[in-house]
Structure 1
Amino acid sequence: MPLLVLTGYPSSGKTTISERIKRFLEEKGHNLVRILDDYFDSEYEKTIEQYATKRKLTDHNNCMRSEVLRCLSADKEVFLIVDTLSYARSQRYELFTVAKNVKTTFGILFCDTNEATSSYLNEQNHNYSEDLLTDLIARYEKPNARLSGEKPLFEVIVRRGMESDLDSLPQNVDLPLDDIYESLALAKPLKNNASVAASHKISTDFVQEVDKTTQQVIKHILANQGQVGVGGFIVFPWDVEVRYQVKKVTSLPTLSRYRTQFLDMTRKNLIASGTSVTNLFVDYLKSVV
């Protein structure tokens, strides 16, 4: 039951590429390959307006995550391909935690295109309004193979100018099909660990501990990141085995946003109680900062 998440700009060829991967896997003998796109839920009209407002997007992402978990839990033989924008690291990390919780393999395929190509392809299928397309491109967070929740990371370049017939570019571009197959279909499942192990019941005390400790972690990072500098390590006196490497100086609003995402994951039982909250939160920050 491997999980492959496609990500990229709007209109970057993801749907065509996901269909090509599906055909390849079926030729390899996988009889149960499912593509999960934005329109899996009948409650959503076949529209991209769920990306237009934060509330609609939050509801949509919650439904998507639940559907991914349901699919992977229901059938051990399914090879699941998620064909959505998945433009935020936090979205992709949540799907990574789902894969870990059900002990399956996981990978990300990044359809790397530029704004000009995305705009051209969008003109052909008319999926997004011009304003929404521009907004989604501006919000897109490129995956990073150095982050624990974004590997293995496969990349395919879909760029205008590579082919004389741009309309057929997603159909003709080279795909790392063998690498995907070896890394997901043949590799050992991910091992569950403390940072993503699901707890069946989250106690009130643990929620309060998470709230208090995450605030403490943020204050400590803000107070020390300038002193240790980029590349330096911050040690937490109350949990000395945990270290946070400063990749860049991060502002309070940004850290607070990541904290909110982490608290949300706690409420959704994606974070286990009975473990070091400092370690869990710092590990999450390492994956998104």
Structure 2
Amino acid sequence: MPLIMITGYPSSGKSTRANQLKAMFEAKLSSPDYKGISYSVELVSDDSLGISKNSYDAGIEEKKIRGSIISAVERHTSKNSILILDSLNYIKGLRYQLYCVARSLGTTHCVIHAASPIEYSRQINLKRGDSGYSQKIFDDLVSRYEEPNSSSRWDSPLFTVLQHMPDEELPFSEIWEAVIEKKAPPPNLATAIEPATESNYLYHLDKSTKELIQLISENQNRNIDVVTIPGTDTKIVLPGRPVSLIELRRLRKQFISINRMHTINFESVPKLFAEYLNANF
């Protein structure tokens, strides 16, 4: 049931932590003292999905990678399983989408940040030779890495493990409490997945997102960096740079593509789109 996302720089030791965590859960669940639900522990990784390190060199392939990861999470998340996702998970927009999947399925989730200095990960990657990332891909992934932020719902609860510290251990007790002992929040109208049955749903999805893009453009032209959605307390915080109409339209297209097969409550569309934009700026 719970979803545990592991994120960090390439070659930061994420897979080592993922396997440690899997062993810890299996030991706890098989203990005679444990009287709870009989969970299985699933580990999904780039390797298990057939994703090669060179795949991250092409933008089109990278989009396919994200789609494969999301599909795998949807496929493996079940009532009686603990899913550990061992991947880069380096873009906050992807972590947000995975958070929405967990929320829609009514399960708990957490993020583990395998944190390390860039040079530490670089040296590990170099030692791996041909089995590591190319220097070009490594540098590109590091430059685009978006660290998790505990103040963001999709990155919380967040557990940071300092990989370059020899004695650093996983905070297993805290992780167990976060994903097993705590009750999962119920799916809300913005994340609950249902078949798309309303005939005007796509029209409303298109119209609402288009209006929001227009609102952002108008505010940006007036040098306003925080855009409040009318009738709500939801705000869009623009990055410290101009956001082009091309970028806004691209994000809008992605959002519609993600949600076109699911019915979102009409009133929740602007709020959910705003969260998506905040996660991807």
- TM-score computed with the length of structure 2 as normaliser: 0.86
Instruction: From 45, 50, 53, give the equivalent of 1:37.
Output: 45
- Please state whether the residue corresponding to 1:174 is helix, strand or coil: coil
Aligned position for 2:258? 265
Sequence identity percentage: 29
The structural deviation recorded for 1:265 is 1.6
- TM-score computed with the length of structure 1 as normaliser: 0.84
The structural deviation recorded for 1:185 is 1.3
Instruction: From 271, 279, 282, give the equivalent of 2:274.
Output: 282
The structural deviation recorded for 1:100 is 0.9
Asked whether the equivalents of residues 161 and 169 of structure 2 are also in contact (C-alpha less than 8 Å), the reply is yes
The structural deviation recorded for 1:110 is 0.8
The structural deviation recorded for 1:84 is 0.4
Q: Distance in 1 between matches of 2:143 and 2:121?
A: 12
Q: Distance in 2 between matches of 1:182 and 1:106?
A: 11
The structural deviation recorded for 1:287 is 3.9
Aligned position for 1:103? 106
The structural deviation recorded for 1:250 is 5.3
Aligned position for 2:33? none
Report how many aligned residue pairs link the two structures: 269
Instruction: From 132, 135, 151, give the equivalent of 1:130.
Output: 135
Asked whether the equivalents of residues 42 and 76 of structure 2 are also in contact (C-alpha less than 8 Å), the reply is no
Aligned position for 2:75? 70
Aligned position for 1:219? 214
- Which blocks of at least 5 consecutive residues in structure 1 are unaligned? 164-171
Q: Deviations over 1:28-71 (max 9, x none)?
A: 11662111001223xx3x62122121221222221221121111
Q: Distance in 1 between matches of 2:141 and 2:104?
A: 30
Aligned position for 2:27? 27
The structural deviation recorded for 1:284 is 2.7
Q: Distance in 2 between matches of 1:87 and 1:130?
A: 17
Q: Distance in 1 between matches of 2:242 and 2:197?
A: 30
The structural deviation recorded for 1:93 is 1.1
Q: Which moved more, 1:132-141 or 1:247-256?
A: 247-256
Q: Distance in 2 between matches of 1:40 and 1:268?
A: 27
Q: Distance in 2 between matches of 1:137 and 1:79?
A: 29
- Which blocks of at least 5 consecutive residues in structure 2 are unaligned? 31-38
Asked whether the equivalents of residues 3 and 104 of structure 1 are also in contact (C-alpha less than 8 Å), the reply is yes
- Please state whether the residue corresponding to 1:241 is helix, strand or coil: coil
- Please state whether the residue corresponding to 1:107 is helix, strand or coil: strand
Show structure 1 runs of 4+ deviating over 6 A.
none
Instruction: From 225, 237, 243, give the equivalent of 2:234.
Output: 243
Q: Tell me if 1:120 matches 2:113.
A: no
Cα distance change of structure 1 residues 136 and 248 upon mapping to structure 2, 3 Å threshold: closer
Q: Distance in 1 between matches of 2:65 and 2:237?
A: 33
The structural deviation recorded for 1:215 is 2.4
Q: Distance in 2 between matches of 1:95 and 1:285?
A: 15
The structural deviation recorded for 1:207 is 2.1
